[in-house]
Amino acid sequence: MISHFDHIVLTVSDLDEAVSFYETVLKMDSIVFANGRKAVRFGQQKINFQLLGQELRNHAMEGAGDVCLITTWSMGKVIAHLTAHKVNILEGPVEKSGAQGAIQSVYFNDPDNNLIELSVYIQPSAEASEKTSEKTNLG
């Protein structure tokens, strides 16, 4: 029934600062849509930004978001990039459980204290993959 996320919405205190952070630090593309709303796009998904009080039906609060993003970069490159942009890493790298298996993650906050988890899938060794395959084939 559900195939994927289309977008999420984060409540922020400053739209331009949020867009700049996600463009610069997370290399996303900024877009403007319906009535001048601001968002960033990556892959086939986007993050819409709203100001506190802009959307009353969801009882939004600044800094209440918690998002895990998967990167194609190595964890070393991620950490170097975050450090170069003076992003304070709160935790990590640590191993966590992603939607499709084990991930290695670092955690940090965006300018509004939304928690961002930037993760890389951990590739199982060929030996571990063979054992899993053997178990599946044996039944």
Catalytic residue set:
117
Give the Cα separation of 113 and 107 in Å (integer): 11
Give the Cα separation of 134 and 62 in Å (integer): 49
Closest CA to 54 of 13, 108, 17: 13
Give the Cα separation of 33 and 72 in Å (integer): 27
Asked whether 108 and 87 are in contact (CB, 8 A), the reply is yes
Tokens of 69: 């993003």
Closest CA to 65 of 15, 16, 10: 10
3-state secondary structure of 80: helix
Give the Cα separation of 51 and 124 in Å (integer): 42
